[in-house]
Chains A and B, each alone.
Chain A
Amino acid sequence: EIVLTQSPGTLSLSPGERATLSCRASQSVSSTYLAWYQQKPGQAPRLLIYGVSSRATGIPDRFSGSGSGTDFTLTISRLEPEDFAVYYCQQSGTSPWTFGLGTKVEIK
């Protein structure tokens, strides 16, 4: 199975700062099948990014995705208070689908 390694595990930042989250795959992932999700405590995950870089409906443009092959990045250009949450990358190109362990973005 494809293992997705997310780093850092926790990111401590202040509102207004830029957040850069990494997702590294154990083998190449087609860009068609790399997505990012946001999850807040007690809530279901919410789709942010699909196809590496396309924003889902209603997702603000401060969220952007990039990368290819085995290295992918989610960037939040200026953190808003509602952005403090856990973020997961996911690949759906090879069964079994896999998620990374997540990066928690917390308020510094």
Chain B
Amino acid sequence: EVQLVESGGGLVKPGGSLRLSCAGSGFTFSIFNMNWVRQAPGKGLEWVSSISGMSSHINYGDSLKGRFTISRDNARSSLYLQMNSLRAEDTAVYFCARERRFCSSNNCPRALDIWGQGTMVTVSS
């Protein structure tokens, strides 16, 4: 079964740090780009970051301003998000998601086809 399982969430004080992990199974982890998406309580989805299979391409959402770092360990089929200088507005459920390209003859659309169950991060004093 194709699966993503996040861990590492919890309660942290403003200015603190937290490292999230996402373990993939049931697929060849290294060939897929991976993403983090977050959702504040009662709010919509916000894309956080993406990383290519070999970690050569990394992108971040504009609101993160260098505080978050995405990484991966393909040998462990794992994705990570290092979050520093956390703020109250970072409080959210953090999902990891697999990015798949659905290639046909002349087109290669992409979307997030597999999602983990999410891990809750609460930033509060």
- A residues near B, CB below 8 A? 1, 31-33, 35, 37, 39, 43-47, 50-52, 54, 56, 88, 90, 92, 95-102
Interface size on B, residues (CB 8 A): 25
* A32 and B112 contact, CB distance less than 8 A: no
Which of A46, A97, A102 contacts B47 (CB under 8 A)?
A97
Which residues of the other chain, A, contact B99 by a CB distance below 8 angstroms? 92
Which residues of the other chain, B, contact A39 by a CB distance below 8 angstroms? 45
* B50 and A97 contact, CB distance less than 8 A: yes
Interface readout for B42-67 with A: 1 if CB under 8 Å, 0 if not? 00111100100000000111100000
Interface readout for B1-44 with A: 1 if CB under 8 Å, 0 if not? 00000000000000000000000000000000001010000001
Q: How far is the CA of A20 from the CA of B102 in the complex (A)?
A: 25
Which of B50, B109, B116, B117 contacts A54 (CB under 8 A)?
B109
Most chain B CB neighbours (cut-off 10 Å) among A39, A47, A88: A47
* B44 and A99 contact, CB distance less than 8 A: yes
Question: B111 on the interface (CB 8 Å rule)?
Answer: yes
* B60 and A46 contact, CB distance less than 8 A: no
* A44 and B116 contact, CB distance less than 8 A: yes
* B115 and A44 contact, CB distance less than 8 A: yes
- B residues near A, CB below 8 A? 35, 37, 44-47, 50, 59-62, 95, 99, 102, 107-113, 115-118
* B113 and A47 contact, CB distance less than 8 A: yes
Which of B59, B62, B107, B115 contacts A45 (CB under 8 A)?
B115
Q: How far is the CA of A96 from the CA of B92 in the complex (A)?
A: 19
Measured CB to CB, the closest approach of chain B to A76, in angstroms, equals 18
Q: How far is the CA of A50 from the CA of B35 in the complex (A)?
A: 16
Q: A35-B111, A35-B112, A44-B115 are in contact. Are A50 and B47 (CB under 8 A)?
A: no
* B59 and A95 contact, CB distance less than 8 A: yes
Measured CB to CB, the closest approach of chain A to B60, in angstroms, equals 7
Q: How far is the CA of A101 from the CA of B110 in the complex (A)?
A: 20
* A47 and B47 contact, CB distance less than 8 A: no
